[in-house]
Amino acid sequence: MKEFEFMLAPMEGITDPEFRELCYRKGADSTFTEMAMIAALSRNNQSTLEKIKITDAVPTYIQLIGANEDYLETFLKAFKPVPGFMGFNLNLGCPSPNMINKGFGSALMKRLSKVNRLVRIIKDHDYPVSIKLRLGMNNYEKKKKIYLNLINEVDADFYVVHAKHGKQAKSSLSDFSIYEGCVATGKVIIANGDIKTREHIKFLRSVGVRGAMIGRPAIKKPNIFKKLKKGDS
């Protein structure tokens, strides 16, 4: 990872290999696949395998969503890394009721031993593993700072913190004030949510965040990575 890494966020239906390559050429240091269901991958579901396909050695993290350890093990036994593969990312951020009802995504935020077991399985296969999280399922969990428990107790390589809780509307803004507390854990923290300007990058660097993950702003302007990098270093 760079001293400050610019990442393209995982976005369902958007971050296919072509878009990831475009953003890479426009300055993203690394990219993420959209979330892929662990259960479907373990069954070799072709359309799900398609989602995690990496082409042209574009630096890519594969994002997984799910909670079943056996399925994860089955998938990893069959998995063959290709050039560009950087590691796995566990989705602990998705707030969609569809996923929450299954106990996936941000429903896993407080299940620390479960998350640690999933992380351990990936590590036992010698693959890097990171986590993408929210601040909690709702404002109460955010206030109780359950995200800090997760960052402290789970042993992953880095943590992408989407600075919103699960009940916040899409239009409401991310809370940049939480990053200092995350960095104080001593872990590698990547910021995500509403990062658009060089001032944002300056601020994130000043508090010790190690990278910025950018999603929606890159859809219309993939060039944003180069632009943000210009004022940076």
Ligand X SMILES: Cc1cc2nc3c(=O)[nH]c(=O)nc-3n(C[C@H](O)[C@H](O)[C@H](O)COP(=O)(O)O)c2cc1C
Among residues 215, 222, 224, 225, the one that binds ligand X under rule CB under 6 A: 215
Q: Please tell me whether residue 11 binds ligand X under the rule CB under 6 A.
A: yes
In whole angstroms, what is the distance from residue 196 CA to residue 228 CA? Answer: 8
- Nearest distance from C-beta of residue 226 to ligand X, angstroms: 16
- Nearest distance from C-beta of residue 9 to ligand X, angstroms: 3
Note whether 209 and 13 are within 8 A (CB).
Answer: no
Encoded amino acid at 180, one letter:
E
Nearer to ligand X, 33 or 42 (CB): 33
Token duo for residue 8: 């393209």
Q: How many helices (H) and strands (E) does the chain have?
A: 12, 9
Which single residue brings its beta carbon nearest to ligand X? Answer: 215
Binding letters toward ligand X, positions 58-97, x by CB under 6 A: -----x---------------------------x-xx---
Note whether 130 and 157 are within 8 A (CB).
Answer: yes
Site for ligand X, residues 106 to 135, rule: CB under 6 A: 132
Show the CA angle centred on residue 185, arms to residues 7 and 139, nearest 5°. 75
Nearer to ligand X, 31 or 192 (CB): 192
Site for ligand X, residues 187 to 206, rule: CB under 6 A: 192-195
Among residues 21, 29, 34, 141, the one that binds ligand X under rule CB under 6 A: 34
Nearer to ligand X, 65 or 126 (CB): 65
In whole angstroms, what is the distance from residue 131 CA to residue 201 CA? Answer: 21
- Give Cβ neighbours of residue 25 (< 8 Å, ≥ 6 apart): none
The site for ligand X, by CB under 6 A, has a size of 21
Angle, helices 112-124 vs 69-78, to 10°: value is 20
Residue ranges binding ligand X (CB under 6 A)? 9-12, 14, 34-35, 63, 91, 93-94, 132, 162, 192-195, 214-217
